[in-house]
Amino acid sequence: MLGVDVAETALKSAREKSRRSGLEAEFATADALHLERLGRQFDTVLDSGLFHTFDASERLEYAESLKAVTKGTLYVLCFGDEGENPARTP
Ligand SMILES: C[S@@+](CC[C@H](N)C(=O)[O-])C[C@H]1O[C@@H](n2cnc3c(N)ncnc32)[C@H](O)[C@@H]1O
């Protein structure tokens, strides 16, 4: 399992969480817009909280980047601008 982020602070926090939970994972500094630079491919790719931070042109670049490394399933956990806001549902 490999976790990536551009921010060293985020990676430090992820490494600590991983160690605390006993999860074996590898972490690396990487730009999600150029995942092909990892030179690797993955059966499962999970985006947690990143997609919605990109603007329209970055999203297209990100899609190409994801395509280069995903050989199986991609999961995207993100916020959207449309649909019901569950926080407002009675
Ligand atoms: C909303 S936080 C989500 C953090 C974490 N993935 C989570 O689910 O708790 C967005 C993260 O995306 C990272 N990020 C922003 N642009 C990035 C990029 N181009 N490549 C990789 N990570 C990026 C930020 O450094 C930040 O840690």
Let me know whether 4 and 14 are in one domain.
Answer: yes
Domain of residue 40: give its range. 32-90
Ligand 1 pocket (Cβ < 6 Å) reads 5-7, 10, 31-33, 48-50, 53
Let me know whether 72 and 49 are in one domain.
Answer: yes
Let me know whether 64 and 50 are in one domain.
Answer: yes
Q: Give me the number of domains the chain comprises.
A: 2
Pocket test for ligand 1, best of 1, 6, 54, 60 (most atoms within 8 A of CB): 6
- Give dist(CA 12, CA 87) in Å, integer: 31
Cα of 53 to ligand 1 centre, how many Å? 8
pLDDT tens series, the chain, 90 aa: 999 999 999 999 999 999 999 999 999 999 999 999 999 999 999 999 999 999 999 999 999 999 999 999 999 998 877 888 777 766
- Give dist(CA 79, CA 84) in Å, integer: 11
- Give dist(CA 7, CA 12) in Å, integer: 9
Q: What is the model's pTM?
A: 0.90
